[in-house]
Each structure stands twice: as C-alpha cells, then as structure tokens.
C-alpha cells in the first residue's frame, strides 16, 4: 500500500481503525492465519462507499471481511488490505413483519432481535456464526432453512460505489450460492420478511436448535462450520467417515470425531495443517466413493 492510499484512508476512517500487521487469527473462526498487511474497520456505509472505489481504481488488492466464519488465511498472511465490515455499520430496525439489517450484523444477533419482536422464520439461523452480509452471499442455511426463504431484498454496492437494490428473484439464490458470488457486489443491508409468532415458542425453538448443535457439532473448537458443501444425493460427513477419516489428524487440524463434516483446530493448528487436511479429505473421498467434495471454505493470502 503506497502512502497516497494510506493518506486517503486516513481521511475516511479514524486512525484507530487502521491496523497494520494485524493477525488474521483474531478475525477468523478457524483461529489461524498470518498477518494482514493492513486491516481497516468500517463503521458506516458512507465510509465503504468512499473507500472501495479508490481501492478498485488504484488496483490495490483488498478483501471484504465479515465475521471470518468461512475463511482460511494462509500462515504467511495477506499482502493486501482487509476491509472489515463491523456491526457498527448501523442498527437493526423493525417495522411490522420486516426487519432491516446492516451487513456487518451477526446473523445470530438478528435472530435474537427477531425473537424479541415476536417475529418467526429466522430460528434456523440463530446458531450460524457469520454476518448477515456473508450469509446472504452464500445463502447460509441450517435445519431445513436458508436465507432465501426470508429475504425480501438486498441492498448492494458495486465496486464503483453505486448502490443497487436486488429483490429475492434477482438474487438467484441456490445451494450455498447467490448472484453475488459471481458479481462484483458488496452487501450493505438486507430487508428480511418474517411472520408474526409467539415470543416464547420462538425462544423455545431457538434453544432446542442450540441444544442439537451442542450435541452434534464440535463447537468447543475453532472451525469454519461445515467444511464442504453437501454433494447432491450424499452427505459430506458420511462420505468422510466411510473413507475412514474420522479423527484423522494433520498437525493440530483434525476431522472431528463428533461430526466428520467439520475440520477443527484443536488449539495449535496452522493454516497449512488445515489446508492439507482439507485436500487430503477430498482426495480420499474421491478415491473411496468417486464423489468430489467441494469446499465451502475460502482461501486467502499466502500459505
């Protein structure tokens, strides 16, 4: 990053929000990864609109980050600028059955807000660790629910700073994908359309799902949730178990005994350990069953 870009960034965000050599292990749920050359915390949509076009125009490498719940950063770090969208970007607002949620808000927090207003339909998402923005990009889902079921519209920004609003159909939601995965858009805000429900029943359902997650998922370890997409006609966890990989370890990275679809950091894993284990699982499953596992995890930086 040259000095002119740095000086421009200083005019947009407070100095305290510009972090150099920032450990990405502090910003990903895998809890691994080297340093980002620079990480900029964004507190408003206005800051984002000013920052991204200049990074784009100058050819500066940058990455838009939410909660880092689907990200593996290499041990050698990332030489570009990480633009982190925080929950400070705005407040959740509720009007009738509709809830307007800024992109940096955690999905779990939005689900809690829905419950507090007696709105149902979002219980499935109450344990998803990502942000609303990230959840929209990948059409996050769990327990027979996914974001496309509750999204009315999505406000996005293109890389020139123009704001657009996309309706549910335009989003082209599919299994762990949306139109945004293949377009240069950044989610800034989402309007969710929910239904009126009983607060106590909604809370009970969320607590039940939380208990099921606790029982079946290795929540005590760092991970990115389900490491692989579900292959059509199969379950990734069962394919991995059938390949004899339950508990398989490379360094500090392990195929979870509790749920084979999770690769976890037992405490001292490196990003290289995790990546090697992901690729080993893919190879073994392909050999065993002929099925190609597609990872959900995004790689960033140098390994």
- Say how many residues make up the chain: 303
The neighbour count for residue 209, using CB atoms within 10 Å, is 19
Q: Across-strand partners of 63?
A: 82
Q: Which of 25, 126, 226, 256 is catalytic?
A: 226
Q: Which two tokens stand for residue 28?
A: 């990903």
Q: Is 275 a catalytic site residue? A: no
User: Which entry of 22, 113, 123, 296 is annotated as an active-site residue?
Assistant: 296
Q: Measuring CA to CA, which residue among 268, 270, 278 is closest to residue 301? A: 270
Residues 220-230 as b/e (b if ≥16 CB within 10 A, e otherwise) read ebbbbbbbbbb
Distance CA 125, CA 144 (A): 10
What's the DSSP call for residue 43?
A: -
For residues 41 and 39, give the distance between their C-alpha atoms in angstroms, rounded to a whole number.
Answer: 7
256 is a catalytic site residue: no
296 catalytic, yes or no?
yes
Of residues 176, 275, 284, 295, which has the active-site annotation? 176
- Sheet strands (E) in 127-277: 141-142, 145-146, 151-158, 163-167, 185-193, 195-196, 222-226, 249-250, 253-255, 262-265
Q: Which of 47, 77, 43 is nearest to 61 (CA)?
A: 77
Residues that are catalytic: 176, 226, 296
């Amino acid at each position: 990053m040259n000095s002119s870009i740095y000086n421009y960034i200083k005019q947009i965000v407070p100095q305290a929000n510009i972090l150099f050599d920032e450990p990405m292990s502090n910003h990903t749920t895998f809890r691994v990864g080297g340093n980002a050359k620079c990480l900029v915390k964004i507190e408003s949509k206005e800051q984002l609109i000013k920052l991204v076009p200049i990074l784009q125009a100058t050819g500066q490498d940058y990455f838009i980050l939410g909660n880092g719940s689907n990200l593996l950063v290499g041990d050698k770090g990332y030489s570009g600028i990480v633009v982190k969208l925080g929950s400070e970007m705005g407040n959740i607002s509720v009007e009738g059955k509709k809830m307007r949620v800024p992109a940096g808000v955690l999905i779990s927090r939005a689900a809690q807000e829905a419950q507090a207003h007696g709105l149902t339909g979002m219980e499935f998402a109450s344990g998803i660790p990502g942000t609303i923005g990230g959840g929209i990009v990948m059409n996050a889902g769990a327990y027979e629910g996914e974001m496309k079921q509750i999204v009315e519209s999505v406000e996005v920004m293109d890389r020139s700073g123009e704001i657009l609003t996309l309706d549910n159909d335009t989003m082209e939601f599919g299994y762990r994908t949306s139109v945004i995965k293949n377009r240069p858009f950044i989610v800034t805000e989402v309007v969710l359309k929910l239904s009126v429900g009983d607060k106590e029943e909604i809370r009970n359902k969320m607590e039940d799902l939380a208990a099921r997650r606790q029982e079946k998922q290795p929540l005590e370890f760092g991970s990115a949730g389900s490491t692989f997409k579900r292959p059509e006609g199969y379950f990734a966890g069962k394919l991995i178990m059938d390949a004899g990989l339950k508990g398989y370890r490379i360094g500090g990275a392990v195929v979870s005994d509790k749920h084979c679809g999770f690769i976890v950091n037992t405490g001292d894993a490196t990003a290289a350990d995790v990546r090697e284990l992901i690729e080993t699982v893919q190879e073994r499953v392909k050999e065993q069953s002929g099925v190609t596992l597609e990872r959900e995890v995004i790689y960033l930086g140098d390994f």
